[in-house]
Amino acid sequence: MAITNISTVNLDNLPTDTRAYFNNFYQPALTVSQNIDDAILGYFEQITDTKESARALAGAVVATSIAQGINPMITLDNFKSLPAGELNNYLTTFLNFNRVGTSYLGINTSPTPNKYVARSIIP
């Protein structure tokens, strides 16, 4: 028998419900009125280059608004009132409200390396 430092896995204690791993994937479908959808989609179509990217942004904004308990039209009004050049920062922050801390959009983190590891690496 080989000696190893990896312990065995107790398969009886593993969760059988995969929804625990994909907590936002199996949420019920969100519905908004056609007017709200058209207004938000039209706004992003004016800003983006393609209809596909506008559709993706509009869907993400509607989903985040509803998840946060905010009327999507109020979110759209906030976007429209932003000064030029501020939308990217505000949109990134807004979409991160509904994301797990390990998968934030547009955030660069530079973790501090361990001092023992850093000294053994030649720059």
Taking only the tens place, the pLDDT of each residue in 4-47 is 555 555 666 655 665 555 666 666 777 889 999 999 999 999 99
**98 contacts 105 by C-beta, under 8 angstroms:** no
- Provide mean pLDDT across the span 82-104: 84
Q: Which residues contact 76 (CB under 8 A, 6 or more apart)?
A: 39, 40, 43, 61
**58 contacts 40 by C-beta, under 8 angstroms:** yes
pLDDT at 6: 55
Length of the chain: 123
pTM: 0.66
Q: Which residues contact 99 (CB under 8 A, 6 or more apart)?
A: 105
